Amino acid sequence: MRFSSLFAVALLAGTSVGHAAPSEYALDPSHTSVVFVINHLGFSNVYGRFNEVAGTLRFDPQALGSSSVTATIKTGSLDTNHAKREEHLKSADFFNAAVFPDMTFTSTAIEKTGERTGKVTGTLTLLGVAKPVVLDVTFNQAGISPISKKETAGFSARGSLKRSDFGMKTFLPAIADRVDFIIETEAVK
């Protein structure tokens, strides 16, 4: 059985593939994207992204409950393709990047929902407020990257949050409370 098949089965089913301890993978910043979308005044949906993301995936194929993911996003790396809007979003009205330069996510549970899907529950800390967030995750594949020649695993995740839960209330309800986000990542062992 190929490593990618073993990894997928073990990650999402929690079965044994003969490893005794968690393996650690680092999120590859050049292949990790954190994108958000929010409704603006009912006229459009505005997209943005964070350009600086770091994190680790610890994976134990014998015990899915021992697996975990942590990530840190630099709020000052916010990019919406509009400098004046970015300046305002980084201000105390929104992300307050000068006071809260990091947004963090730490998983607390992983649940299998399908052959290649799962839910990752964790704590998101934003603006000094920690709240639970659930990510719907799809395992894409794992194996030796033909470019780096390193063991690599790829995942796609989707989720949403209410920004007011974290104290971000500027321009509510004109600018939506709900923020949807998309995460695409490759993690390298």
- 58-69 pLDDT, tens digit per residue, is 876 556 667 899
Its pTM stands at: 0.85
Inform me whether the pLDDT recorded for 48 exceeds 90: yes
Quote the pLDDT of residue 61. Answer: 53
Q: Which CATH number goes with the domain that contains 59?
A: 2.40.128.110
DSSP per position, 138-176: EEEEEEE-TTT-SEEEEEEEEEEEEGGGGT--TTTTTB-
Residue-number span of the structural domain to which 110 is assigned:
3-188
Q: How far is CA 22 from CA 12, 29, 131, 142, in A?
A: 15, 22, 26, 16
* Number of domains forming the structure of the chain: 1
Alpha-helix runs per DSSP H in the chain: 3-13, 83-89
pLDDT tens digit sequence for 97-130: 999 999 999 999 998 888 888 899 999 999 999 9
